[in-house]
Amino acid sequence: MKTGQVYKRFKSKNGKTVTLRSKTWDNLDDALLLANSTVAERETNPDLGVLLDKTRHKPEKAKPIGSQRNLSG
**Model confidence pTM above 0.85:** no
**Residue 40: in which H helix or E strand, if any?**
helix 28-44
Residue 59 to residue 40: CA distance in whole angstroms: 20
Looking at every residue in the chain, the average pLDDT score rounds to 78
> What separation in angstroms does the CA of 62 have from each of 14, 27, 47, 55, 69?
33, 10, 28, 14, 11
Residue 70 to residue 33: CA distance in whole angstroms: 24
Question: How is the chain split into domains, by residue range?
Answer: 6-72
Encode pLDDT of 13-72 as tens digits: 999 999 999 988 888 889 889 888 888 887 787 777 666 666 666 666 566 655 655 544
